[in-house]
Structure 1
Amino acid sequence: MDFKNYNFSTDRLNIRPLDFSDYDSWLLGFTERKTSKYRHDKGKIDLSNRNRKWFNNLVRKHKKLFENDEIYIFSIFDKDGKHLGMIDIVTIERENFQWGECGFYIHNQFWNNGYAYESMLKVLEIANKELEFHRLEAHVNLDNKPSFKLLEKLGFKFECTRKGFIYEFGEWTDNYIYYINLHDEDL
């Protein structure tokens, strides 16, 4: 797969893998984050060791993961080039499954603008038509209502609650599992 050919746009957004030239925009997106608003919002993040060399290694790592069909990481930019957030798709199983898991985040200074919905719609289309996934699932903390509301709006369906599924916040936490079968949708 050619990493550079995965450049997509919507009316307001450009969605693509990071490039070496994105460092300043990427850094600004993180440094302008607001203080944490709730438990699942990391808020301000210490980037003191995230210099250009570190970033270039990150871009190379993303490219390798992409080319190996392991993880597809798409950055979200507005039309002015501001880094708004990211979406990733992790390959769980190919062969007879074509199954992946997706996650998303928007920097908190850009919340409530519809960017997550708009970018996720496009990435679902990419996952279906370009990356040939059939099923995507998303894992959501039980108290992360904004995320599961967004997933439902996108057409994801609640499947189950996985008990003690992920270790975070110093404990094994339960997650809701949402899924979408892309070939069943009009994407």
Structure 2
Amino acid sequence: MKETEEGFQITSETERLIIRPLKKEDYENWLNEFEARHPSQNRHDSGKFDMSECTREWFDQLVDKYQKLALSDTAHVFDVFRKTDDRHIGTVDFSTLARDDFQWGRIGYTIHNQHWKKGYGSEAVKEALAIAFHHLKFHRIEAHINLDNAASVRLAERAGMEYECTRKGFIYENDEWTDHLVYVKNAD
């Protein structure tokens, strides 16, 4: 693992991936990979997006927003790039749930569906968890997963997270309160 840290510009590398915040010069790469997404593969996969509103100006504002969220410790968004060709593979993000005596956060992850089944997801999430514990100083990270999202469960387990419980009526989505599996990892 190779790491650098400049303010909130944390960068970490695995054998195949670079994990770091977006930079404004990532625009074309980022846009190309979103445009290359396959149609939705299941109900938890967004598939193709309408990217017509994602102009360079919009993207620059997104990068600025992510930097402000990191500086306020509200959220930390890390994008995943393949080392061999610098292609944008996806995103891993952390939301701060509580600090003080808790140091508790939530992880989210998305890998573009054209890059599925190559092990990038678990590699990226493992490395992002190391960032969360060592650089962002979280003690506990939770993943909140829909009951029927078997692929996300497998990814969480491959990344070293363990099932803790099922929270009933936990997240409001699709106009209803839904149950979620909670997977957790604590700092060593």
Classify the TM-score, shorter chain: over 0.9
| Deviation readout 1:136-184 (Å, 9 max, x if unpaired) | 000000000011112122221211111122222332221111111122x
Match of 1:118 among 101, 117, 123: 123
Task: Give 5+ residue unaligned stretches, structure 2.
Answer: 1-5
Match of 1:180 among 168, 180, 185: 185
Alpha-carbon contact 2:126-2:160 (below 8 Å) kept: no
Task: Give the C-alpha shift of residue 31 in structure 1.
Answer: 0.4
Please give the alpha-carbon distance, in whole angstroms, between the structure 2 residues aligned to 1:21 and 1:153.
32
Q: Secondary structure at the match of 2:68?
A: helix
| 1:134 paired residue number | 139
Q: TM-score, normalised by structure 1?
A: 0.94
Runs ≥4 in structure 1, deviation > 6 angstroms? none
Match of 1:48 among 29, 52, 55: 52
| 2:89 paired residue number | 84
Match of 2:170 among 165, 168, 184: 165
Please give the alpha-carbon distance, in whole angstroms, between the structure 2 residues aligned to 1:167 and 1:96.
27
Please give the alpha-carbon distance, in whole angstroms, between the structure 2 residues aligned to 1:165 and 1:46.
29
Count residues with an aligned counterpart. Answer: 182
Q: Secondary structure at the match of 2:47?
A: coil
| Deviation readout 1:60-88 (Å, 9 max, x if unpaired) | 00000011111010000001111100000
Please give the alpha-carbon distance, in whole angstroms, between the structure 2 residues aligned to 1:115 and 1:45.
21
Alpha-carbon contact 2:123-2:159 (below 8 Å) kept: no
Deviation larger for 149-158 or 15-24 = 149-158
Task: Give the C-alpha shift of residue 128 in structure 1.
Answer: 1.0
Match of 1:25 among 15, 29, 37: 29
Please give the alpha-carbon distance, in whole angstroms, between the structure 1 residues aligned to 2:59 and 2:133.
29
Q: Secondary structure at the match of 1:100?
A: strand
1:146 aligns with 2:151: yes
Q: TM-score, normalised by structure 2?
A: 0.93
Please give the alpha-carbon distance, in whole angstroms, between the structure 1 residues aligned to 2:148 and 2:96.
26
Q: Secondary structure at the match of 1:101?
A: strand
Please give the alpha-carbon distance, in whole angstroms, between the structure 2 residues aligned to 1:18 and 1:36.
25
| 1:107 paired residue number | 112
User: How big is the alpha-carbon RMSD for the aligned residues of Structure 1 and Structure 2?
Assistant: 1.1
Please give the alpha-carbon distance, in whole angstroms, between the structure 2 residues aligned to 1:170 and 1:94.
30
